[in-house]
Amino acid sequence: MKPNRTTLAAAALAALAALATTAPARADVPSAQALLQAGARQGVADGYPAVVGLVRSGDAVQYVAAGVKDRATRTPADPKAQYRIGSSTKAFTSTVLLQLEAEGRLSIDDTVAKWLPGAVSANGYDGSKITIRQLLNHTSGLPDYAADAAFAFNYGADLQPDQAFAPQALVNLALRQHAPASAPGQTWGYANTNYVLAGMVITAVTGNSPAAEIQQRIITPLGLTDTTFPTSDPSLHGNYLHGYEYPLGSSLVILDVTVSNVQTFGAAGAMVSTLDDMAAFSRALVTGKLLPPAQQTELTTTVPSSLGGYGLGVIHKQLPCGQWAWSHGGDVLGYDSDWLSSEDGTRQVLRANTEYHLVGGPTRGQQDTGRATSAAFCAL
């Protein structure tokens, strides 16, 4: 039987990945680009409308792209286009809180109740026993409001992209789910609730929204001209990748969910950016350009988690080749992305896919593009 394009792409990706895993680390951008490009093609073969990526070694930057940025117009995918970064927003939020600590305006060991009296006080949860640090490293013990079945259905179906969600309403949705399973600080458990509360602390301390503080403290100083923090507008504007979902994971129907509710995640996952801007931000973050040494140490102090060592909005993980990288993924309706950076910021790989349907996973596309992202980093 004649092999199809999917089989050939998978074979090429496997061969390149094996080479990257066994070969010594070296600054080899072309090989890393080839690995990421093979992964992008495989991701499209797996069902992604588009996959884009960036590989950087020193000052050398190369891009990859496969598929289309808009299935209606069939316009080729553009690695310079915007996409929703989802939970990579968390690194921006934690950075602002650490900057506020450096200015003496708070301590990340302050309790939540100190800044948000009564915000966490239901069903056995007590904000006077939870610290800001525990919010940022996900050891608060709080449930994730996004796990609520009705909430997930409405968001996943993209039924009300303009619906208003006050941050406290999201917190309340989490608190009513179940009583605490462990005391604060005892166990790690990923919950968007933590970062919604973190955003609320930013507002309590500064009087400004997390979006305004992130704009003033990070986006503008770093010149991230294609990065935004939408607070109400559910649409994307300018040059952007359309986001899609296979409802309930079915491959028979695909929906355009580019226009989606940004208030559902706020400081936990509402931001929009590009590969170039995310490379600039993550490089500045891991190299200490955004934080003084004491806060940089706090940022990178990790606790064990299922994702790797989890710091304050960043992840330290060991790749299959044995190398270590700082990272954080972002999954939000229609978009799945990831970034990897060496500690000195000289080696980076970023990737974004334009389909995410919330339920199930990891999908074959996530697995294939994830392996390609790691393999590309290992080839640098």
> Is residue 373 one of the residues assigned to a domain?
no
Cα separation of 7 and 368, whole Å? 13
Contacts from 116-119 at CB under 8 Å and sequence distance 24+?
116/197, 116/200, 116/201, 116/204, 119/168, 119/171, 119/197, 119/200
Could you report the per-residue pLDDT of 174-198, keeping only the tens digit for each?
Answer: 999 999 999 999 999 999 999 999 9
Mean pLDDT of 129-135: 98
- Is 263 a domain residue? yes
Residue 309 φ/ψ, nearest 5 degrees: -75, 120
pLDDT of residue 129 exceeding 60: yes
Q: Does the pLDDT value for residue 80 go beyond 80?
A: yes
C-alpha angle 38-44-45 in degrees, rounded to nearest 5: 85
Residue 50: phi and psi, rounded to 5, are -150, 150
Over its C-alpha atoms, the chain yields an Rg (Å, rounded) of: 20
CATH number of the domain to which 297 belongs: 3.40.710.10
Tens of pLDDT, residue by residue over 97-122, are 999 999 999 999 999 999 999 999 99
Residue 32: inside a domain, yes or no? no
Give how many domains the chain has, as a whole number: 1
pLDDT at 205 over 90: yes
**pLDDT score at 11:** 43
How many beta carbons lie within 10 A of that of residue 139, not counting itself? 23
Place of tokens 């604060």: 184
Average pLDDT over residues 80-98: 98
Domain that holds residue 342: 84-361
User: Do 268 and 165 meet the contact criterion of CB atoms below 8 Å apart?
Assistant: no
DSSP secondary structure string for all residues of 82-122? BEE-GGGHHHHHHHHHHHHHHTTS--TTSBHHHHSTTTSEE
The pLDDT assigned to 252 comes to 79
* Confidence label for 8 from pLDDT (cuts 50, 70 and 90): very low
**What b/e string do you get for 37-76 counting C-beta neighbours within 10 Å, with b at 16 or more?**
bbbbbbbbbbbbbbbbbbbbbeeeebbbbbbbbbeeeeee
Please tell me the predicted confidence (pLDDT) of residue 250: 75
Q: Is residue 1 part of a domain?
A: no
140 is catalytic: no
- Sign for the CA dihedral angle at 61, 23, 281, 67 comes to positive
Residues 256-270, mean pLDDT to the nearest whole number: 98
Catalytic choice (31, 57, 87, 282): 87
Residue 28 banded pLDDT, cuts 50, 70, 90: low
Domain membership of residue 66 (yes or no) is no
Distance CA 310, CA 303 (A): 5
> CA–CA separation, 133 vs 206, rounded Å?
18
* 14 domain residue, yes or no: no
Is residue 302, in this structure, part of any structural domain at all?
yes
Tens digit of each residue's pLDDT (9 = 90 or more) over 143-173: 999 999 999 999 999 999 999 999 999 999 9
Cα(339)–Cα(352) distance, rounded to whole angstroms?
9
Residue 248 lies in a domain: yes
Phi-psi region of 118 (alpha: psi -120 to 50; beta: other; left: phi over 0): left
Burial class (CB in 10 A: 0-12, 13-18, 19+), 214: buried
Kindly report the number of other CB atoms within 10 A of residue 166's CB atom.
Answer: 12
The alpha-helical segments, DSSP class H, found in the chain are 5-22, 29-45, 89-102, 112-115, 132-136, 149-156, 167-175, 192-206, 210-214, 220-222, 275-286, 293-299, 364-378
